[in-house]
């Protein structure tokens, strides 16, 4: 890591911690992606998906093992966070090791414990023979590790998707191996992007979560009656992203934000609130009281574990697609975060779905996790 990036990171960490917790946590300075065409084999079968998955897991393990994360100074230098939460990072590390070990086994390889997985990561790559992808993969995972550890270092002073506040929050880890759920935030869009995306989803028979902003529904209401928007979300799950896109962790009137949005959703889909007040907090920022409030009304807080970064101008659609494929190979299941106010999701989804079909992955209908989560 260059000195200039370290300096920027430290400044960014100070900025994040000096903001009131009602402000949003600035995004990472660097965003992970790499050219998937470097992988020398088509991922066109479940077996080839598993082979590529094993190599991504081992690449991440190698990067994790050689990155000093065992003290405040090391964490500050790596993340730029002046006062990192050591306990939070250690919790993330333990959870991540467990997930990587489970995923390696799910990918068809044997590893008795973490020590065995680390040992496997040190062995020369036997297949595929062309290993030009390896350096690019490790650069990706070094940057992705920075993204994740930075969030863990800030948690829970600044909450995010990096960890749960309550075991009933949904993050994607509760899904079965090879299962993914699509989610879209911030709509409905002002430029009919939501309509274009929904047309594709309906054509493919895919049911996704749409976490809408109350103020965007209100803007639509100025042009057309909200009940007339019902066909826009036909076959989808309509849920809340709050009234405005602001961090709810210390928002003074967060109950009002949730209730105003729920009332607007009810005008679009009168039956929707019957399944509970499902909520995705902007930036993942929330507090225990908010989580309990949502659960007491029959809903769940829905986080994510695969961030497309589709809002990020640094990533063009092809790079975003490569990022998503790599994270699907690494985590093997999850809730994918998109935004239906940006076109990049719609641009990459057809190719992403072809990849998933070839690899034996499934897109879970949004209604199925709702039912499964109730008995978890």
Residue that is written with structure tokens 């960014």 in the block: 12
DSSP state of 231: G
> Quick check: helix, strand or coil at residue 209?
strand
Tell me the C-alpha to C-alpha distance, in Å, between residue 134 and each of 39, 63, 278, 291.
Answer: 9, 12, 41, 41
Predicted local confidence at residue 7, as pLDDT: 39
Give the domain ranges of the chain. 3-154, 179-373
DSSP 279-328: B--GGG---HHHHHHHHHTT--BB--SEE--TT-TTS-HHHHHHHHHHHH
Q: Which of 183, 178, 177, 148 is nearest to 163 (CA)?
A: 148
CA–CA separation, 36 and 318 (whole Å): 10
- Which residues, in sequence order, are CB contacts of 299 under 8 Å at separation 6+? 275, 276, 277, 278, 279
Predicted local confidence at residue 27, as pLDDT: 62
Per-residue pLDDT tens over the stretch 321-349? 999 999 999 999 999 999 999 999 999 99
> Quick check: helix, strand or coil at residue 102?
helix
Predicted local confidence at residue 369, as pLDDT: 64
Predicted local confidence at residue 274, as pLDDT: 57
First to last CA, the chain: 42
Angle between the N-to-C axes of helices 133-154 and 3-18, in degrees from 0 to 180, rounded to the nearest 10: 30
CA–CA separation, 343 and 165 (whole Å): 32
Predicted local confidence at residue 4, as pLDDT: 40
Predicted local confidence at residue 26, as pLDDT: 52
Tell me the C-alpha to C-alpha distance, in Å, between residue 66 and each of 79, 102, 145, 182, 218.
Answer: 15, 21, 11, 33, 50
pTM, 2 dp: 0.91
The residues of the chain scoring below 70 in pLDDT are: 1-28, 273-275, 369-376
CATH number for region 179-373: 3.20.20.370
Burial bucket for residue 152 (CB in 10 Å: 0-12, 13-18, 19+) = buried
Q: Which residues pair with residue 301 across a beta bridge?
A: 279
Residue that is written with structure tokens 């790599």 in the block: 326
Per-residue pLDDT tens over the stretch 270-325? 877 655 779 999 999 999 999 999 999 999 999 999 999 999 999 999 999 999 99
């Amino acid at each position: 890591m260059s000195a200039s990036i370290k300096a920027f990171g430290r400044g960014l960490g100070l900025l994040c911690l000096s903001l009131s917790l009602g402000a949003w946590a600035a995004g990472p300075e660097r965003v992970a992606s790499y050219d998937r065409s470097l992988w020398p084999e088509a991922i066109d079968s479940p077996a080839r998906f598993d082979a590529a998955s094993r190599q991504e897991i081992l690449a991440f393990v190698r990067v994790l093992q050689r990155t000093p994360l065992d003290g405040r100074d090391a964490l500050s230098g790596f993340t730029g966070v002046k006062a990192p939460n050591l306990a939070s990072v250690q919790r993330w590390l333990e959870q991540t090791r467990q997930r990587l070990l489970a995923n390696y086994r799910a990918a068809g390889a044997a590893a008795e414990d973490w020590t065995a997985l680390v040992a496997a990561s040190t062995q020369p790559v036997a297949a595929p023979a062309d290993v030009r992808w390896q350096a690019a993969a490790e650069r990706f995972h070094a940057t992705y590790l920075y993204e994740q550890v930075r969030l863990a270092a800030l948690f829970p002073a600044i909450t995010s998707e990096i960890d749960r506040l309550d075991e009933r929050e949904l993050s994607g880890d509760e899904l079965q191996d090879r299962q993914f759920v699509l989610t879209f935030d911030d709509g409905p869009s002002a430029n009919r992007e939501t309509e274009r995306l929904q047309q594709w989803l309906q054509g493919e028979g895919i049911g996704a979560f749409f976490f809408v902003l109350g103020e965007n529904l209100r803007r639509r209401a100025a042009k057309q009656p909200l009940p007339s928007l019902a066909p826009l979300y036909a076959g989808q799950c309509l849920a809340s992203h709050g009234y405005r896109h602001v961090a709810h962790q210390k928002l003074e009137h967060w109950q009002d934000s949730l209730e105003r949005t729920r009332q607007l959703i009810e005008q679009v889909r009168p039956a929707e609130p019957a399944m509970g007040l499902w909520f995705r907090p902007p930036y993942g920022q929330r507090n225990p009281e908010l989580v309990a409030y949502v659960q007491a009304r029959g809903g769940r807080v829905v986080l994510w574990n695969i961030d497309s970064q589709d809002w990020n101008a640094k990533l063009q659609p092809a790079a975003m697609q490569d990022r998503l494929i790599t994270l699907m190979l690494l985590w093997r299941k999850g809730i994918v975060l998109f935004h239906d106010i940006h076109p990049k999701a719609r641009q990459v989804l057809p190719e992403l779905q072809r990849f998933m079909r070839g690899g034996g992955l499934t897109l879970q209908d949004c209604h199925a996790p709702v039912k499964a989560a109730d008995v978890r």
